[in-house]
Amino acid sequence: MNCDACKASQATVFLTQIVDGKMQKVNLCEACSKEKGVTDPTGFALADLLLGLGAAQEMERGGTVQKCPTCGFSQADFKKTGRLGCGACYQTFSEGLATLLKGMHKGTEHIGKIPARALQSIQRDSQVRTLQRDLRKAVAAEDYESAARLRDQLKQF
């Protein structure tokens, strides 16, 4: 049996894990199992590896974009490594990643911690959107006094 990672050497390390009731098997050669850190007790590596192997195929099916404009990373690179090139890759390959993330995680939206800096800009964005909506309403209602005040507030952002 050949190694699932390099497809060249004889597999000597056989891994089985049950994820969401489904059995997943991965066969690796000595070199790849070391390289992938299968013996790493820290817990990151194995899950990544197991999901990573199927992940690339999943993304290939879904996506149409070939290269990330920010970092030049391609789908072929993802297939090879199971890793992405940069943060913008999530946007670039969002189509293909959507299915992948859905199958991999509990949900598709982050509901956890937000860094303080990001929180500020998220709040600012939503404030701007609220003001713009109110401004449209005020203009439609011909309430020019409010409109002028809202416009001034928007200018401050």
Which residues contribute to the site for another protein (CB under 8 A)? 13-21, 33, 37-48, 51-52, 55, 71, 73, 77, 81-87, 90-91, 97, 100-101, 104-118, 122
Measured CA to CA, the distance from residue 110 to residue 150 in angstroms comes to: 32
Q: Does 73 bind Zn ion (CB under 5 A)?
A: yes
- Whether residue 101 contacts residue 59, with contact meaning beta carbons closer than 8 Å, is answered with no
Q: Which is nearer to Zn ion, 33 or 138 (CB)?
A: 33
- Listed ranges 5-13, 47-55, 75-83, 103-111: which one lies at the site for Zn ion (CB under 5 A): 5-13
Q: Does 76 bind Zn ion (CB under 5 A)?
A: no
Phi, psi dihedrals of residue 24, rounded to the nearest 5°: -120, 130
Phi, psi dihedrals of residue 15, rounded to the nearest 5°: -115, 140
Q: What part of residues 86-125 is at the interface with Zn ion (CB under 5 A)?
A: 86, 88-89
- Listed ranges 13-21, 42-50, 71-79, 103-111: which one lies at the site for Zn ion (CB under 5 A): 71-79
CB of 123: closest distance to another protein in angstroms? 11
Measured CA to CA, the distance from residue 13 to residue 28 in angstroms comes to: 5
CA distances 79 to 33, 112, 116, Å, are: 17, 29, 34
Q: Which is nearer to Zn ion, 67 or 149 (CB)?
A: 67
Q: Which H or E run contains 23?
A: strand 22-28
CB of 35: closest distance to Zn ion in angstroms? 8
